[in-house]
Structure 1
Amino acid sequence: MGYEFEDGSLISKELEKKIRKLHATVGNAVTEGRYIVFGAGSTQLLNAAVHALAADASSSPAKVVASAPYYPVYKSQTELFESAKFKFEGHTSSWMNSSSINFIEFVTSPNNPDGQLKKAVLQGPNAKQIYDPK
């Protein structure tokens, strides 16, 4: 059983427009030029994002990192869905001066439990971010 819209897609264009409008109005996320990803649960979405951002042709796996406090599933799902393309490598601060390495950084914003808005720690062409509002 599946759900399909009149245009043959599996994603509601109307829902996507409303999500973009909401974020533009509130100002809490940039959606222009970005994909809106839908899923049945956060573990599936996080895993799909890590797979999508990990380079296929890299000689070494992308290092998946996060700044504490972070959602423990970042580590467990990265290890559970084991891949030669990525590996969980712990806290972001351990990798601050490693600009030549491929990174996927989980950014929990707003953070739990303090509600602080966080920004990515790692910058540069080899650093990719997944923003997760836990």
Structure 2
Amino acid sequence: MEFRDESTADITRASDGAMLDEVDLSGTSFDIYSADGTSITYDRPGPAVVVAFDEFETAALAEQGLPQAFLFLSGRLTETVTFESTPEPGQEVPEVVAAEITENSAEYVFDLCDLLDQAAQDSAEEEASAS
């Protein structure tokens, strides 16, 4: 993802260069760390992009009927991720042992893979009509 300013980003798929240009990400998200550092709560109001980083997040999103990577335009998604130990400064982030969606009022949800597939198709059609 390439951020253009505080509220938009370009999302490009590495495998084929398909791109979503100027995606609105103006929802102000918050990361809330537990006192002992073993969990983080991600509070995301829309519009926002959410991408699962491991099997725990993928499963938590799937339980809510959400894809592994998506854009939502309004509502809110709140997720708590728990680590196996406290992260140490300068060290790799510990393994995730649990992920839970604690609030899901996300509306107008779009699978990023579907959006990128459509962008690739549109780009191919534009190239074909230009030649």
- Report the TM-score range of the alignment, normalised by the length of the smaller protein: under 0.3
Q: Please identify which structure carries the higher helix content.
A: 1
TM-score, scaled relative to structure 1: 0.23
Greater C-alpha Rg: 2
Greater fraction strand: 2
Where relative contact order (Cα < 8 A, 6+ residues apart) is larger, the structure is: 2
